[in-house]
Structures are given as C-alpha cells and as structure tokens.
Structure 1
Amino acid sequence: MAMALMLSVGVAHAGNAVAQSPTSIDELPPDQKVSETVIELAGWVVASNDSEGYPFAVIDKTAAQVLVFGGDGRLRGAAPALLGSAIGDHSAPGVAGLALREIPGRDRTTPAGRYVGGYGPSIDAGRVLWVDYDSAVSIHPTATGVPSEKRPERLASPSPDDNRITHGCINVSPTFYEQVVSSAFKRGGVFYILPEKASIADTFPEFAGSHTTSHSSSAQDTRHASQ
C-alpha cells in the first residue's frame, strides 16, 4: 500500500516525524507510490512546526495525490485528486474574477506554494474550503455537472495521466472529502502544493535550505565515523 511505503521511507527521511493515524484512509491505487519529496516535505513541516500546529495537506500535482495530516502530524488520509488542466505553477492575474467558462485553457492552473486556507463563502457554491482565496482555488468533492468531462472516471483510474481536467481547483472523492478533508480543516489549515515546472528551492526555500543542510550534516557524520 502507498501508506505503508510512505511510513517506511518516512522513518529514514523524516526522522520519524510523520506517523500514521490508526483511522487513516487510503484511496490511492495499490501500486501507486508516494514520492520521497512528499515524505520529506511532510516530515519537515512537522519537525519545524511550519504549520504551527494546524492540520496540513501536501498536494503532488505530478502524481495527482493529496495527503492530509492532522495538527498532531499524523497522516489522516491519502487519495487521488483532479487538478487544473493546464501545466504551470502560477495563477494568471485577474483569473479569480472570471467565470469558469471565461478562463482561457492556458490559465487553468493549480498554483504551487504554501497557502493558509479555510472555509469561507463563495459566489456560486455556498461555503467552500478555500486553499487560496486570492486565486479562487478551493478543494471540494468531485464536480459532476459536465458528464462529458468524466471526472469520477478520471479520479477512479489507476493512472494520474488523466487527472488534469479542472479549472484550477482540487477535486477529491466525496467520501474522502467528507471523512478526511472537511473534518481535518474545519478550523482551517495549511496547504503545500508541489511545483511541476518551478524548482522546490524556489517554491519552498526554507524546506530546501534545511534539506540541503541535513544532507550535508549526514555526509560529515559519515566521514567522521570512518576516520
């Protein structure tokens, strides 16, 4: 299972900072792996208290995965996600003020970065969980208003290659949203969205800096131990 792999790698790379909740939910395909970057970033968030005790999520756009952690750092769930149809790590200026049908295809991106989000009102969907209000990116259950988009089928497929279909928002299954996302973020939280074109260093400089330092320290320890 993806969670078992994450935990085993997390022990080596996150200093045991990330643990799995006994009630965590795993919706990832059985053979789908979680990247070491996701594991190391989650471990760093917990070890550095970067989320300040709030729940957080790590979204891997390339793998089309969402991993949700509680404020205690325990993994609450992992699931596939649908993401913006356009490749890119930034939101176009003014895109938040456009109706969905007015957003050009090239601007339908899910931006990368660290966002402090929470529930709030929207113009057309009631109360939603905003990841980034300024760019109008939210996380919500899979939208089914346009059957030809086949969003539930895309979400259920074992490959992430067909998960790019939204206007920029993050879609997860209704079950995962109700059982994991809505309960974890009812008082807000932090969202870390990995880049797909920009570098990790540009997107998460503090994480990248600590990551480089820790690897340098490990190398020095190895040299000292062998002398």
Structure 2
Amino acid sequence: MSVVVKKGISTSFAFSRLPPVDEWGLNNVIHAPHSAGAHSRTSTEYKITAGDINNLLEDLLAKSNVEKHLRKLRIVHDWFNLDSSSNQTNIERTLYVLLDKYALYVVTGSRKTLESLIELFERDNEKQQQCYDRVQPTSRTIGISDPPVSNAEYELVVLYPEHLLPLGTEFTIYTPTTSASPAISLSSKHYVAASDGTLRESPGTEASPRLAPSPSMAIEMAYLLQTHFL
C-alpha cells in the first residue's frame, strides 16, 4: 500500500519490533535504544525521556524549560521556541516511527554542509584558544543566521535498506512544482536503497543519480509498505 502525506494524516504503526523475514535472511529489528523510555544524557540540568519530547507542546512548563536550556547552550536564537517552523518537519507518521523508534534510516547533513561546519568550528576553536591563552574568556561568535548554518542541507541515509525497502521496494519523493494554477502541483521521483545506504534512482549501481540533499526535510513523501510491516 502507499501512504501519502497530507497534513499529518497517515497509517498508524504500533509494533515494538519489526519481524524477521526468513525468506530474505533478515533478522528482526528491535527499536533503537535511544527511543521511548531511554533517558537523555545531553544535560545534567534538565533530563527528559526521549519519548516525552513529543508531549512537550502540551506541557507549558516543560516546554519552557527545554527552550531555555537550548538558548543557554547558545545553539538557537534567543527568541527560539519549539513551535518555530525550523523545529517542525512534515514527515509521514510511519516514516517518523521507523526513524525515531527503529532507526532504519537517519537524517544527516550533506557532506558539503558537514565539512563547512567543521571548518567553521575549527576557526572558532582557534579563536577560543587564543582568548583562553590570554586569559580573556569569550563566548562563541558563530552566526547561526549566516552560512553554512543558514543554508544547511540535509539528506536521508538508510541504515537497514533490506527492512526499509525490501526486494527493490521504491521510496517515492513528491516535490511541489511551479504552476500557474492555484492547485498544488507535485512531481515525483522513485528511489531504491543502494548498498552504500543512499537512495538512488536505479538499483544495483552506485553510479545512478542519488536523492539530492535538500535545504529542508519538509517535503511531501509517499512510502510503499510491504504487508509484513502491517
């Protein structure tokens, strides 16, 4: 069956693990250890379970505490809040579960973005060290409104291609196209999982065009599910 994103309406997915498929030699996949029930180790000041993050918008106090902590870490704007569009991604519910609970795939920065960020922090670390040597403490001065932060690109990497897209199952990406009509016009491309974990247009070759990095993961997706997932 196909699941098409439409304002968060999707098929539910409630398994605690993906069953093995003996015919294909695939073992079962238990949900990732960092998912629901696992405690966050990112801070000793404020701890929540990873599974609670989706409920924060309903708990104003917890929401406020998380926002304050992120601001204190200086990794977001002073006016950032969890309702910000930058903190939201229109991803189909089944795909979200396969990401958050089972870690069948990950969303990561493109190679160009990651290399640019490494260079940025290396330069800033040099500046920090110079200030430290002169006993002149200073805060980071990385401009999150400037490149490479402001124009960061992201891509999907499949960690379990046989489970996510078994036997050549296709992953369909829908993107809006320019149109004079007031109705939304979408174009689609189909991808399969390559052996290197990337999504490519044709199976069996790493020379095939891959799913290009995107400045936003808020893209319309359809996921063709096999019956053993349901």
Using structure 1 for the length normalisation, give the TM-score. 0.25
More strand by share: 1
Q: Greater share of helix residues, 1 or 2?
A: 1
